[in-house]
Amino acid sequence: MPALPLPSNSTRSETVAVAIANLLPLVGVVALGWNAAALVTLYWFELGIAALFAVVRGLFAGRPSDLDGNALVFGALASKPLALSIPRTGVRVHLSSVLSLVVIVPILAAAWVVLGGVLLGFVGADSLSSAALETVALAVLVVLLSEAGTTAVDYFHRGGYREESAGTAVSGVFFRIATVLVGGILTVTVVAEAIGVDGDATATEAADPVAFGVPVLVSAVCVKFAFDLAGLYGDSLAAMDESSGGHFGWSREPPVRDPIEDDLADAECRVRPSVVGRLFGERVSPAAHPGPWYLSVLALIVALLFALGRAWGTVAGLVAVAAAVPFVAVATDSLIRYGAVEYRVAGGDDAHVGEDALVAYDRVCGTALWRIEPWDEEGIRLERDRLDDRFDTATVVLELRDREVRLPRLSDDDADRVLDVFDRRPER
């Protein structure tokens, strides 16, 4: 079987970083007499450094994150194409990247702390000699500089950030967690347990080079090196996986927002949601958005506990919170999602702007969100609920191939202007 070529976007600096990360522990074990505690300590710090720079790469990723746009508030923010440009560079910080990291960073931090507390305590890292601690600290510094250099050169200077989203930039850290666990730590403990000096020896004692030599620790370094090579060949594995239908889960492709060439800036007909649509463009019912209702139920359960203690003031406050949460959540989501949106209509009597089309334009972001032309849609619905009946509005729902687009609570005249763009009548 021919050897896999290095990934197309891999550079010499990435290869050097992998070599350094594995050569240092090998030298430590063979030449400096490191035991399992020193090796695991280095691997733990290496994982923390990898997580830190992964977060940096995720923050400055060039592509937006693929987040669920239907989630209340969080999804509304994620759907906004907002990005902060870094002066004198082509780098931008996408709002969706920040939202992804808000979820990912606490998970990584907790995993790193818990992993360190459990495993370092298991191998007895507190018993490291001062000489071993100094050499481990020096190795950690080298790993830090190597990771910083790789990020600066490959990711920023050579433009690797353009092909990454926050999710794909950070996803490699979870593979590194598996690398450290399997290649660097479990090999030490499991193999040492299997070939211990005697039946009474603990895994830590058996893994000590003084007890039986360095084979276990060298094998741990080699297994971890194999995992790191798999990470280095990640793009080749992804290409193989994609060609085989994606059965192995290696293939990944960050989402790309296709630019809208004509945002109908000259269209005279511009439709905006009514005031009630901007506040309650989304439905408040538990079936549509159950999340806030779960919080309401939780608040009522806590209120019941306080009622047992006759703390009626607290009970009244919690009941008020339970009643308000669904409405506040939907109103916040709707303001973010629809408050600054206008729908530019080219159709019917507005023939001077060219072919019929409908464009949603965000006035705060200063960009078009989507453009739909006749027959792009696979169906049209006109929905009315009690709120629509009360304020004489209607919600236009456009069924696309991959999603539905809602134009919430438009006046009857505005709804008719939108429907004139399309060559089919809506279902009611």
CB proximity list for 37: less than 8 A, separation 6 or greater? 120, 123, 124, 125, 127, 128, 132, 204
Higher pLDDT, 258 or 323: 323
- Residues of the chain with pLDDT > 70: what percent? 74
Give the span between the Cα atoms of 179 and 197, in whole angstroms.
27
SS3 of residue 164 by DSSP: coil
Give the span between the Cα atoms of 334 and 256, in whole angstroms.
25
Give the span between the Cα atoms of 319 and 52, in whole angstroms.
42
Give the span between the Cα atoms of 149 and 357, in whole angstroms.
49
Per residue in 11-39, pLDDT tens?
A: 566 666 777 777 777 777 666 767 777 77
Return the number of other C-beta atoms located less than 10 Å from residue 366's C-beta. Answer: 10
Q: What is the pLDDT of residue 248?
A: 37
- pTM for this structure? 0.74
Per residue in 150-183, pLDDT tens?
A: 888 888 988 888 888 888 888 777 777 776 666 5
Say if residues 147 and 54 touch (Cβ distance below 8 Å). no
Band of pLDDT at residue 304, cut at 50, 70 and 90: very high
Per residue in 73-86, pLDDT tens?
A: 888 888 888 888 88
Whose tokens are 């194999």? That residue is: 226
Band of pLDDT at residue 10, cut at 50, 70 and 90: very low
Helix, strand, coil share (%) of the chain residues, nearest 5: 60, 10, 30
CB proximity list for 410: less than 8 A, separation 6 or greater? 271, 273, 274, 277, 393, 394, 395, 396, 418
Mean pLDDT calculated for residue range 323-329: 93
Q: What are phi and psi of 249, to 5 degrees?
A: 80, 15
Mean pLDDT calculated for residue range 105-126: 79
Give the span between the Cα atoms of 301 and 335, in whole angstroms.
30
Per residue in 109-118, pLDDT tens?
A: 988 888 777 7
Give the span between the Cα atoms of 390 and 53, in whole angstroms.
54
Higher pLDDT, 25 or 71: 71
Write down the mean pLDDT value for the chain. Answer: 78
| Maximum average pLDDT range among 52-56, 124-128, 153-157, 376-380 | 52-56
- Residues of the chain with pLDDT > 90: what percent? 22
Q: What is the pLDDT of residue 14?
A: 66
Higher pLDDT, 127 or 349: 127
Q: What is the dihedral of CA 66, 70, 72, 76, to 10 degrees?
A: 60
Per residue in 230-256, pLDDT tens?
A: 666 655 444 444 444 433 333 456 666
Q: Say yes or no to pLDDT of 380 above 70.
A: yes
